Structure formats: structure tokens, C-alpha cells
Amino acid sequence: MTDGFHIVVCGSLVPDPIQTLEPVPGGDRPALKNEAMLPSVLDPWAGHALYEAAHLAAKTPGSKVWLVSLGPKAQLQQLMMRVAQKVPFELVALDGPASGFTDSFEVAVALAQAIEGIDGLDRSRLLLFGGCASASRDAGVTVQMVGERLGIHDQFLAVDELKVEDGGSIRVLERVEGGRYLASVCEGAPLVAAWATGSLPEPPNSPQVGMQNMRTIMPALAKAGPATLGGEGTTWLTAEVPQQRRETRVVKDSSADEIAQEIVTWIKG
């Protein structure tokens, strides 16, 4: 049996999806209009990773969960006031942009350095969790690059299930094409799991968990260091929201083949 896992979850904030986002010119990269004022939520894929991590830690004695987040410090504080009530974790915060106009490699470097600086982290027991994608930085490679920088080569992408077997081995179900799963078995940690949806719902709020988390969250935010994301070598020509286009007409007595052909003709045109 395992002595417990050290689970590090990479996840940050994204603008609330009900908000209208408008790119504007920035200093060295585009930014979002009124970005500091936009309500934020925990990235959905990162949320799955965090809830799965907390569930696994609760079932495995001796385990601990860290949440490593890169984003504007003020917005991170607002977000943590809500997330802190969900599951137990210790926050590692980095002060930097989270608008999506950042390079995945630079983000991975900053996250890996933050993880390497965690006091008491046992790399031999490390499970690195994150989302398989992001609602803002949707390159789909950030967690993989963090794992590579930490020297973890057992990596699983689009994970829906992770179970620890009686002998300490870890069984992973990973999405593949055709609606199927690739089942893999590892001897144990360390490994990287980039989560798709998992199987757990969002936990209910717990004031007790929130008070416990806030004892470490506020000091972590106070000492959050700046993440230097210069975007060197990247040139932005333009960034804009796709224009909505709607053309509607009512047609009676048309067959499905005729409708399909008309749609294809419209798309090609």
C-alpha cells in the first residue's frame, strides 16, 4: 500500500462565461477590456482535477493537495474566497496575467519553478494534476510541459478515471478516439494526469473547510511572487471576437437532402 500521495493541481481562473470579452491592444500582447473588473471562476477542467485530487487524498491516508495558480493576485483572492469552501488544499500563488494571451511554454516554466519550491514536497510521491485543456489558455500542452520539466514521463491526457489498486499500482482510464478508453496501469507515482471530466460533481460548500483553507491562502497570496511572461519571439497582429452572422428563412416541403445540400453550398460560399 502507498504511504500517501503529494498531489499538485495546476489550475487558475478564467472569466465567467456569461461575460462578453473584448480584446484590446496591450503593452507587449493583447489584453481583455476591463480585465481586472471581469468576474472570474475556476477553470472548469482545473476544477475537475482539483475535486478528483481531493477525493483521492481523502481516501489515501498521508496524502496532501496543493493548488498552484497563476493569475492576477487581486482576482485570485476573490476566486479563493469561493473555491476555499469546496475541498481542502494549500495554495501556491503566482501573480501574473491570466487572459489567455500568454505562451504555454512560459506558463509551464513558471508553474514548474513554483512546484519545485514547495516545502516538503516528495517528488517520489508526486501526482501532477491539471486540466486537459483550458477555457483561456487552450493550447492543451501546458500540463505536459510542466511534467517534462519536473522529469515525470508517465503522462496521461484526457483522463476520466484514476484508481489506486490494492498493491499500490495506479489504473488510469484515458479518452481516445471513437468514444473508447485506453486503460493503463502504472506501478505508482510519480505521474501526470490531465483531466477531462472525471466522475465527481462539484462539492457543496463547507464553512469549516473554508476557514481551514484560508489560514494558508491569505499568507500564500501575500507572498505571491510575480511570474515573468514576456512573450519573447511572439508577434501579435490582431485579436478580435468573431462576428455573429445569422441568416434565416422559412422553407416548407424540402427534403433532408435538399436542406443539407443548401447548407453545404452556403458554407462553401
CATH number at residue 217: 3.40.50.620
The secondary structure of 190-224 as a DSSP string is SEEEEESS-S-PPPPP-HHHHHHHHHHHHHHHHTP
In a domain, 265, yes or no: no
Contacts of 184 (CB under 8 A, 6+ apart): 156, 171, 172, 174
Cβ-based neighbour number of residue 154 at 10 Å: 16
Backbone angles phi, psi at 68, to 5 degrees: -100, 115
What is the per-residue pLDDT for 201?
Answer: 83
Give the pLDDT confidence score for residue 231 in this predicted structure: 62
Q: Evaluate whether residue 248 is within a structural domain.
A: no
User: 104-116 and 142-149 are packed helices; what angle lies between their axes, rounded to 10 degrees?
Assistant: 40
Tell me the residue range of the domain where 161 lies.
6-226
Compute and round to an integer the Cα radius of gyration of the chain.
Answer: 21
3-state helix, strand, coil in the chain (%, to 5): 30, 25, 45
Residue 192 located in a structural domain: yes
Residue 128 lies in a domain: yes
Q: Answer for the pair 76, 221: CB distance below 8 angstroms, yes or no.
A: yes
For residue 184, is it within any domain?
A: yes
HEC-encoded secondary structure of 18-47:
CCCCCEECCCCCCEECCHHHCCEEECHHHH
Determine the pLDDT at residue 75: 87
pLDDT for the residue 236? 66
Per-10-residue mean pLDDT of the chain, 269 residues long, equals 85 81 73 78 90 94 93 88 92 84 84 92 93 76 91 92 90 88 90 88 90 91 82 66 73 87 87
pLDDT given at position 194: 92
Q: Are 87 and 54 in contact (CB under 8 A)?
A: yes
Helical H runs in 127-255? 142-149, 207-222
Domain membership flag for residue 234:
no
- pLDDT for 234: 65
pLDDT tens-place string over residues 159-172: 999 999 988 899 99
Q: Is residue 247 part of a domain?
A: no
Q: Answer whether residue 256 is part of any domain.
A: no
Domain count, the chain: 1
